[in-house]
Amino acid sequence: MSEHSLSPSLLALLQKVDTPTVCNAIEVAQGKRGFNQYTKGTMQASDPLAPAMVGFARTARIAGLEAPVESKEVIRERRLNYFRHMADGPRPAIAVIEDMDYPHCVSAWWGEVHTTVHKGLGLNGALTNGVMRDLGDLQAGFPVVAGSIGPSHAFVHVREIGIPVQVMGITVATGDLVHADRHGALVIPTEVIAELEAAILKMQGSEHLILGPAREPGFNIEKLEKAWREFEASRT
C-alpha cells in the first residue's frame, strides 16, 4: 500500500467507525498506549449524525481578524492558488485549515459557498480550528468539524498554502491521513495504515468480551470479573 492509497475495505471500514474507535485501534496497531495525534478540546460538528470523514489532508492557513495588508491582486491570486491546491492531490481528501487568529477567530471560512465549492472540487469534508456559519445551508454530504460557530466572514483571506498546520493540538501536513467526526479528529500514522483494518476488527472483538455479557440478562459482578479478565488479556 503506497503512502497515498487506501484499500477499498479499509476505507469502507474507516467510514463506518467513529474517531474514538480509530484512536483506540491505532494503539492496538502500535502495541502500546500513548498515541496523541488527536484534537484536544470540544469542537463543533456541522452534522453530528454524519458518517466520519476520511481523507488525505489538503492544508492551508487563513486569517480574518484584521484586514490584509497585501494588495487585492495578491490576495485574489493566492485564493485561486488555494483552490488549485484543494483540487489537486490524492483522493479521498479533506480540507484542513488553520485559522491563525486562534483562539480569537471571528471569520467564517466555512459556509454555504465554500462547502459547495470544495465538495465540487472532490473533497469530502473540512477540519478547522476556525469558524463555520450558514448552519442548515451547508452543502449536504460535506461535514465540517470546526473550532467555533459565528455569523461573519470578517476579513478572511488565505495566508499560506500546503504547509503543516496546527489545529486544536495536532499538526497536520498535506498528505496526512485524517479521520474526523463529532468527537474531533486525528492523524493516522503512516506506519500503521497497513495494519489498521486488522487492528480495528481486533479491538471490536475485544470490546465485545465486555459488551456482550453486560447486555445479557442476569449480568452481575461475578460475570463482570470474569469478562473483564478476558477483556484485559486481549487488549493493549
Reading the block at residue 149, the C-alpha cell is: 460557530
Is residue 4 scored above 70 in pLDDT? no
pLDDT band at 1 (very low <50, low <70, confident <90, very high): very low
Is 88 assigned a ligand-binding role in the annotation?
no
User: According to DSSP H, which parts of 38-142 are helical?
Assistant: 72-87, 112-120
Is 91 assigned a ligand-binding role in the annotation?
no
Reading the block at residue 26, the C-alpha cell is: 491505532
3-state secondary structure of 41: coil
Task: Work out the average pLDDT over 176-192.
Answer: 97
| Whole-number Å distance between alpha carbons of 158 and 136 | 25
Reading the block at residue 190, the C-alpha cell is: 503512516
Measured CA angle at 124 (ends 41, 14), to 5 deg: 70
Query: Residue 191's Cα: distance from chain center in Å?
Result: 18
Amino acid at 89: G
pLDDT digits 0-9 by tens, 98-123: 999 999 999 999 999 999 999 999 99
Task: Work out the average pLDDT over 197-211.
Answer: 92
pTM of structure: 0.93
Alpha-carbon distances, residue 201 vs 2, 79, 107, 187, 223 (angstroms): 22, 42, 41, 19, 24
Is residue 3 scored above 60 in pLDDT? no
Question: In the prediction, which pLDDT does 235 show?
Answer: 66
Its sign, for the CA torsion 206, 212, 215, 218, is negative
Question: In the prediction, which pLDDT does 118 show?
Answer: 98
Is residue 57 scored above 90 in pLDDT? yes
Helix 193-214 to helix 221-234 angle (10° resolution) is 170
Measured CA angle at 45 (ends 80, 211), to 5 deg: 135
205 vs 14, more confident: 14
Give the CA dihedral 203, 209, 212, 218, nearest 10 degrees. -160
pLDDT digits 0-9 by tens, 117-144: 999 999 999 999 999 999 999 999 999 9
Question: In the prediction, which pLDDT does 2 show?
Answer: 45
Question: In the prediction, which pLDDT does 231 show?
Answer: 86
Reading the block at residue 3, the C-alpha cell is: 503512502
Reading the block at residue 6, the C-alpha cell is: 487506501
Q: Are 47 and 180 in contact (CB under 8 A)?
A: no
Is residue 79 scored above 50 in pLDDT? yes
Question: In the prediction, which pLDDT does 43 show?
Answer: 97
Least confident range from 75-79, 141-145, 158-162, 202-206: namely 202-206
